[in-house]
Amino acid sequence: MAQVNLHVTPEFEEALDALMRGRALGSKSEAIRLAVREAAAPYLAAPRRDLSLLLGLLDRHQGGAKRRRPMAALEREIDDQMERALGAPRRAPVRAGKNAA
């Protein structure tokens, strides 16, 4: 098991002691492990997102000497490809300079 050394404030140590008493834990190490496990649980349980589509778009559009496209055009292309990948209905294109009535 790896060892981690911490420098803590008196307030942190007081909170750690309260956690130990409240959960009937035998050591500060056990209390810290419990607190970190509980804090990390939502992140460990969250589904991993597949960003390969976005990475592919970035790879395709990173060109050294190429003229860069406007950010709005790139955003529209990303939106279109994400909608296709998710099977979302197509949106009407937004035209620059037109005011919605």
Predicted confidence band of residue 36 (pLDDT cuts 50, 70, 90): very high
**pLDDT at residue 25 is higher than 80:** yes
Q: Per-residue pLDDT tens for 37-78?
A: 999 988 888 777 777 777 767 766 665 445 667 778 888 888
Q: Measured between alpha carbons, how far apart are the two ends of the chain, in Å?
A: 65
Question: Which pLDDT belongs to residue 17?
Answer: 95
Predicted confidence band of residue 9 (pLDDT cuts 50, 70, 90): very high
Q: Residue 82 and residue 85: Cα distance in Å, rounded?
A: 5
Q: Enumerate residues 6+ apart whose C-beta is below 8 A from 98.
A: none
Question: Which pLDDT belongs to residue 23?
Answer: 95
Tokens 């597949």 sit at which residue? 50
Q: Per-residue pLDDT tens for 74-101?
A: 888 888 888 887 776 655 655 555 554 4
Q: Residue 90 and residue 54: Cα distance in Å, rounded?
A: 19
Task: Give 66: exposed, middle or buried? Use CB within 10 Å, 0-12, 13-18, 19+.
Answer: exposed
